[in-house]
Amino acid sequence: MTETSSTPHGLSIHIMGVPVLLAVWALLVVGTVVTVVAAGIDFGAFNLWLAMAIATVKASLVALYFMHLRYDRPFNAIVLVGSLLFVMLFIGLALTDTAQYQPEMIPGYSPGMKE
């Protein structure tokens, strides 16, 4: 339900159809409700991953349809995915680093522990 148009000056563009826009909007609303409901249930350590998975599905919908990435030149998507890879590298390495500073290496750092 999407159209492409070509103007007299040869600008070839993709136009999102209204039904697609409304469908994406409805899915985003459903996704928000699902996140809120899922947060009320305790899945233990899985909570964070579930919330992030739902958020990523929602973000992908926004990027692919509202931001036209699905119909754009692939290079724009490469820029976005590339920046996200660097974000993951940044956060991943920072977490790996901070995990090295275990409290047992610093005596007295964690009085909550039995020694």
Binding site for other proteins (CB under 8 A): 5, 7-13, 15-16, 18, 21-22, 24-25, 28-29, 32, 35-36, 39, 47-48, 51-52, 54-55, 58-59, 62-63, 65-68, 72-73, 75-76, 79-80, 82-84, 86-87, 90-91, 94-95, 98-99, 102-104, 106-113
- CB distance 47 to 41 below 8 Å: no
Longest dimension (CA), the chain: 79
Tell me how many degrees the CA angle 27-32-35 measures, rounded to the nearest 5: 120
CA 4 to chain centre: 28
| Least spacing, CB of residue 104 vs other proteins, in Å | 8
**DSSP strands (E only) in the chain:** 3-6, 12-15
| Least spacing, CB of residue 52 vs other proteins, in Å | 7
| Least spacing, CB of residue 96 vs other proteins, in Å | 10
